[in-house]
Amino acid sequence: MSPWPRSAPTAAHRASFADAIPRSFWLDEEHGGIERPTPEPALVGDVTADLCIVGGGFTGLWAALHAKRDDPTRDVVLVEGETCGFGGSGRNGGFCVASLTHGLPNGLARFPEELATLERLGLENHADLCADVERLGIDCELEHTGEMDVILDPTTGTDELEEHAELLRAHGHEVQVLDREAARAQLHSPVVQGAVWDRTGASLVHPGKLALGLRRAALDAGVRIHEHTRAEDLRETPDGVEVLCAQGRVRARRVVLGTNAFAPIVRELRRYIVPVYDYVLMTEPLTPEQRASIGWEGRQGIGDDANQFHYYRLTADDRILWGGYDAVYRFGGPVAARHDESDETFGRLAQHFVTAFPQLEGVRFSHRWGGAIDTCSRFSVFFGTTHGGKVAYAAGYTGLGVAATRFGGRVALDLVDGRDTEATRLRYVREKPTPFPPEPLRSVGIAITRNRMAAEDRSGKRGLWLRTLDRLGLGFDS
Ligand SMILES: Cc1cc2nc3c(=O)[nH]c(=O)nc-3n(C[C@H](O)[C@H](O)[C@H](O)COP(=O)(O)OP(=O)(O)OC[C@H]3O[C@@H](n4cnc5c(N)ncnc54)[C@H](O)[C@@H]3O)c2cc1C
């Protein structure tokens, strides 16, 4: 039972984001605390490399760093169509969460026999990410706050929360169940009905600083980066693969693709991924009085428990990032700058924000943006190889890739290098998700699913359509 108003957003809601800067706060030099580097030169002409990486987001940058750490003499070239961090990596909420399965319940449903291993690998990956950030001297405002799953439905009993907490505890997490009073003591909001606070493997990060820090580290390690260089096609050759770009070509022995939700240059990816847009508002810094009025001393990353969920967090300068709820799929799955904004969704976000924090009415938003999420039907990264095993990809993080991309880059590299590891032997790595049907069935199916998910949020009842999808192993999430 959702607390969000069903009325249309008012002129006041729309005014609160009207002057917001229409791009990611995390990549804004003036407010986001980053220094944008001079772009690395675009590729012109032919170059050779041992390894070519396509995509300068977290997946590609981690893959480059892993490759250099494995063998510092390996010649690595990374091509990025825009500038590093341009995609989801520079636009996300900064929730850096260990799970490789988009949470334990999803992992339990899909990979029960491997869940213990996946959880362990996820926690190790999260710990190693934190250690790498330290070792590489990347100041990305990492905060180990844990994550609080907030309950919105007043009919949810504490026994249900305890059940969820027990599953987490069974996998070694330190978890606290909070009833309504205790949860509201953490977060002063009238929509909160209870919470589960998981303190294990959940941190917050400044994603822009992380992406640019990884870029710097890759350059320092000797990776050659070409920005504003879009890979247009791949061609297999006897001893490798040619990565064909607009004004040049990389002849590489091996290729790793980290292109996320963007139009894939490997056709088979189109069956498995739908780009779903997610939108975010960022407030101006709160005044000390405003900050005190919301509690939130633990500064936890927060998500609510609905199908259409909000996620929110504080920044180092005490702004609130408020995102999620609408997950927008457009016919044919276009990914383009014109979709980075949606007034309809921003209006709803602004309206829900003051419903959650009535004491902050009048607070304005300084930034608004959106980005495409590489949604797949299993809600977690999957892998594949093409071109005779010389190309590997990692994609499908479905909105939980800040930490998982470090693992994704590692596994894609191991696959293309033919390395046999604990991870590459897993069904999780070997198996693909159920593909989505082609258009127009794809759009129709997604529209019905979204409608039924919203209905479940309102009524608390899971209808026949969603139960059937559950049985088929298909789904939809942001
Ligand atoms: C609004 C939003 C909020 C999110 N919040 C969270 C969160 O709080 N926590 C979390 O864990 N995850 C979150 N995510 C998901 C997370 O950001 C992604 O899973 C992660 O950043 C994926 O990294 P990536 O490197 O695979 O992809 P990207 O960061 O998208 O990088 C792909 C790169 O490839 C480049 N590219 C694409 N095609 C080509 C080509 N042909 N040639 C050259 N370059 C190419 C693109 O320009 C892009 O820079 C969020 C995502 C969005 C959009």
Per residue in 406-428, pLDDT (tens digit) is: 999 999 999 999 999 999 999 99
Answer yes or no: is the C-beta of 260 below 6 A from any ligand 1 atom. Answer: yes
Domain ranges of the chain: 12-24+143-199+276-373, 45-130+207-272+378-430, 441-472
As a CATH number, domain 12-24+143-199+276-373 is 3.30.9.10
Say what the alpha-carbon torsion angle 352, 353, 358, 362 is, to the nearest 10 degrees. -120
Categorize the per-residue pLDDT at 449 as very low, low, confident or very high, splitting at 50, 70 and 90: confident
pLDDT at 477: 57
Q: What is the mean pLDDT of residues 258-287?
A: 96
Categorize the per-residue pLDDT at 475 as very low, low, confident or very high, splitting at 50, 70 and 90: low
Is residue 1 scored above 80 in pLDDT? Answer: no
pLDDT at 229: 98
Helical pair 441-459 and 464-472, crossing angle rounded to 10 deg: 120
Answer yes or no: is the C-beta of 59 below 6 A from any ligand 1 atom. Answer: yes
pLDDT at 447: 87
Tell me the C-alpha distance between 69 and 414, whole Å.
13
Answer yes or no: is the C-beta of 208 below 6 A from any ligand 1 atom. Answer: no
pLDDT digits (tens, 9 = 90+) for 98-144: 999 999 999 999 999 999 999 999 999 999 999 999 999 999 999 99
Closest CA to 31 of 321, 363, 368, 317: 317
Element (H, E) at 255: strand 248-257
Dihedrals phi, psi of 195, to nearest 5 degrees: -165, 160
pLDDT digits (tens, 9 = 90+) for 17-51: 999 999 999 999 999 999 999 999 999 999 999 99
Closest CA to 448 of 456, 341, 239: 456
Spatial contact of 119 and 107, defined as CB atoms under 8 Å apart = yes
Token output for 54: 């396509």
Number of the ligand 1 atom closest to the C-alpha atom of 232: 41
Mutate to test the pocket of ligand 1, among 23, 65, 250, 260 (most ligand atoms within 8 A of CB): 260
Mean per-residue pLDDT over the chain, rounded: 95
Answer yes or no: is the C-beta of 91 below 6 A from any ligand 1 atom. Answer: yes
pLDDT at 463: 84
Sign of the alpha-carbon dihedral angle for 383, 473, 102, 326: positive
Nearest residue by C-alpha to atom 31 in ligand 1: 57
Spatial contact of 281 and 311, defined as CB atoms under 8 Å apart = no
pLDDT at 277: 97
pLDDT at 478: 52
Answer yes or no: is the C-beta of 201 below 6 A from any ligand 1 atom. Answer: no
Answer yes or no: is the C-beta of 325 below 6 A from any ligand 1 atom. Answer: no
Answer yes or no: is the C-beta of 313 below 6 A from any ligand 1 atom. Answer: no
Q: CA–CA distance from 212 to each of 136, 137, 222 (Å)?
A: 12, 12, 15
Ligand 1 centroid–CA 90 distance in Å is: 7
Answer yes or no: is the C-beta of 324 below 6 A from any ligand 1 atom. Answer: no
Q: What is the mean pLDDT of residues 300-307?
A: 93
pLDDT digits (tens, 9 = 90+) for 332-380: 999 999 999 999 999 999 999 999 999 999 999 999 999 999 999 999 9
pLDDT digits (tens, 9 = 90+) for 276-291: 999 999 999 999 999 9
pLDDT at 30: 93
Answer yes or no: is the C-beta of 147 below 6 A from any ligand 1 atom. Answer: no
What is the second-level CATH architecture of the domain 45-130+207-272+378-430?
Answer: 3-Layer(bba) Sandwich (3.50)
Tell me the C-alpha distance between 447 and 135, whole Å.
46
